[in-house]
Amino acid sequence: MQGRHFLNIPGPSPIPDRILRAIAMPIIDHRSAAFAELGRTVLEGCKTVFGTTQPVVIYPSSGTGAWEAAIVNTLSPGDTVLMAETGHFATLWKAIAARFGIEVAFIPGDWRRGADPDAIEAHLADDKAHRIKAVMVVHNETSTGATSRIAEIRRAIDAAGHPALFMVDTISSLASVDYRHDEWQVDVTVSGSQKGLMLPPGLSFNAVSQKALAAASSSRMARSYWDWQEMIKLNAGGFFPYTPATNLLYGLREALAMLQEEGLANVFARHRRLADACRAAVQAWGLEVLCEVPAEQSPVLTAVMMPEGHDADRFRRIALERFNISLGSGLGKVAGKVFRIGHLGECNELSLIGALAGVEMGLAAADVPHQRGGVDAAMALLRD
């Protein structure tokens, strides 16, 4: 295959060359003054993207580690939590909680929308004894392309007058979709490096509120690697309790600089615009977007439903073989039924148009019934 591969899965996302070059540096002593400066810069700098002035813990791990960290630092075996079945990732987070002996009240969902604030409020209002210790929601459900309205869920928790912790997974939305840890009074924000942050896999995050720190001091869950206490203590000097992923932190420093140069509001607007153009293409093809609620359609990916009787994975394989483009597979309940177009990481108008051309030609090559003109529809939207 000639030329650059089009990586249009919704994470890991394409990495800007500038970040790759920042990572390609000699390793340094992680107990040195030079490291402490890097540590302090990224630990302070990443607070902006979370919208917080409170501590952000950085782990050398995939996002799944930060999911586990949120649970083991705040909860105790036998606790009850409330979660919403938005898709595959919400289901995986629930399974982790269950393995730690947490009872999960799982509000069922059809995988075509975000979490319902009214349903969350009703569950909390019913819980007069305050047995529910945490509400746990996925901000951007990467398996379906549906976002949940975090500000409204915050209001629902407050309207019910419930003291539960609020924990939000922003692994695929952070630095691409508007998010406000402090303003929305989120207690633990979980995130990861390889999606909106434009970095390789390998870093994960917990932004932690004072209320979450208080919960950590009374939590009875065994933990070691994920323990916030030792992390936060050493982070004060720019250090970590164990070897950090030094070169990924160089990358993080560069990613934060890029986000600052563009301006977060402009970054969010760029993703919304590309997402609108992607959806215009899907509509022109005569195909259906999985997320049924327009206001909840994700700025970072679009999950497209295959026409009845056509296998999404066969289509993806043909698009890859013919046009060197990777598209996201359907996960869990929607395996084989949807494909996902990522528009996150390093992306602009032409990278999207190239990807949409790959999809449109792939649909033809795989004999999937569709109308032509998706790329034209996207270009019409991006022209002005």
Ligand X SMILES: *Cc1c(COP(=O)(O)O)cnc(C)c1O
Please, what is the minimum distance in Å from the beta carbon of residue 27 to ligand X? Answer: 23
Give the C-alpha distances (Å, rounded to integers) separating 179 from 50, 111, 370: 6, 22, 36
Please, what is the minimum distance in Å from the beta carbon of residue 193 to ligand X? Answer: 8
Give buried/exposed letters for 274-304 (b at 16+ CB in 10 A, else e): bbebbbbbbbbbebbbbbeeeebbbbbbbbb
**With respect to ligand X, which residue has the nearer C-beta, 52 or 142?**
142
Please, what is the minimum distance in Å from the beta carbon of residue 134 to ligand X? Answer: 16
Please, what is the minimum distance in Å from the beta carbon of residue 243 to ligand X? Answer: 19
Footprint on this chain of ligand X (rule: CB under 6 A): 11, 62-64, 89, 138, 142, 169, 171-172, 192, 201
Give the C-alpha distances (Å, rounded to integers) separating 138 from 2, 82, 197, 315, 354: 38, 12, 17, 28, 30
**With respect to ligand X, which residue has the nearer C-beta, 306 or 344?**
344
SS3 341: strand
Please, what is the minimum distance in Å from the beta carbon of residue 121 to ligand X? Answer: 23
**With respect to ligand X, which residue has the nearer C-beta, 137 or 375?**
137
Cα–Cα distance measured from residue 201 to residue 290, given in angstroms and rounded to the nearest whole number:
26
**With respect to ligand X, which residue has the nearer C-beta, 165 or 171?**
171
Residue of this chain nearest to ligand X (CB atom):
63
Please, what is the minimum distance in Å from the beta carbon of residue 143 to ligand X? Answer: 8
- Residue 277 CA to its chain's centroid (Å): 21
Q: Which residues contact 45 (CB under 8 A, 6 or more apart)?
A: 252, 253, 256, 260
**With respect to ligand X, which residue has the nearer C-beta, 247 or 283?**
247
**With respect to ligand X, which residue has the nearer C-beta, 99 or 233?**
99
Q: Which helix (H) or strand (E) covers residue 135, if one does?
A: strand 132-138
Cα–Cα distance measured from residue 83 to residue 86, given in angstroms and rounded to the nearest whole number:
9
Q: Which helix (H) or strand (E) covers residue 82, if one does?
A: strand 80-84
